[in-house]
């Protein structure tokens, strides 16, 4: 069951160019930096209240984040909702006629299991479900 917003993903060309804004200007707590080789991204995770802001920098031109930036520019990439059981959430969403990008979970940043819904099924918003 979806319980809360986990994070908002923001595509950036360079983490280095954006970290100072979130850490020093907005005074958000930088939780960690991580490279996710399977996703071809580096991430910086910040916390504000119960929600996190995830900056995503592509490490390859083949990265989905690089393709997003090339097409739309830097900006909000996705919203992620937390669930306690991503496998059952995928099953439920498919039963509701939702088009899933990921039919089985994969591993994302911070050791989470993730799956993305196709934006055509979620009001043109790339939507992620994640399980800690």
Domain count, the chain: 1
Task: Give the pLDDT confidence of 76-127 residue by residue, as tens digits.
Answer: 999 999 999 999 999 999 999 999 999 999 999 888 999 999 999 999 999 9
Distance between CA atoms of 90 and 129, rounded to whole angstroms? 9
pLDDT surpasses 90 at 9: yes
Strand partners, 66: none
Provide the CATH number for the domain around residue 127: 3.10.180.10
Specify the residue for token string 């910086």. 44
Cα–Cα distance for residue pair 23/41, rounded to 1 Å: 20
Are 129 and 117 within 8 A, CB to CB?
A: yes
Which domain, by its residues, includes 120? 2-131
Token pair listed for 120? 């055509």
In the prediction, which pLDDT does 113 show? 97
pLDDT tens across 15-61, in order? 999 999 999 999 999 999 999 999 999 999 999 999 999 999 999 99
Residue 74 has pLDDT above 90, yes or no: yes
Q: How far apart are the first and last CA of the chain?
A: 13
For residue 36, which of 8, 64, 16, 17 has the smallest C-alpha distance?
64
pTM of the model: 0.94
CA distance 53 to 131: 16
Q: Using CA atoms, how far apart are residues 43 and 54, in angstroms rounded to an integer?
A: 6
Question: Which secondary-structure segment (H or E) carries 19?
Answer: helix 16-20
What pLDDT shows up at residue 114? 97
Look at residue 111 in the predicted model and tell me its pLDDT. Answer: 87
The SS3 of residue 58 is strand
């Amino acid at each position: 069951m979806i319980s809360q917003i986990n994070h908002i993903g923001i595509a950036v060309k360079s983490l280095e160019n954006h970290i100072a804004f979130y850490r020093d200007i907005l005074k958000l707590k930088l939780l960690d930096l991580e490279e996710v080789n399977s996703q071809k991204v580096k991430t910086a995770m910040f916390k504000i209240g119960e929600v996190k802001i995830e900056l995503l920098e592509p490490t390859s031109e083949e990265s989905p984040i690089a393709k997003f930036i090339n097409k739309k520019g830097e900006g909000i990439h996705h919203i992620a909702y937390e669930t306690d059981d991503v496998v059952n959430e995928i099953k439920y969403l498919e039963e509701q006629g939702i088009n899933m990008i990921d039919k089985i979970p994969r591993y994302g940043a911070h050791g989470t299991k993730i799956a993305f819904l196709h934006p055509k099924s979620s009001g043109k918003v790339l939507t992620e479900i994640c399980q800690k």
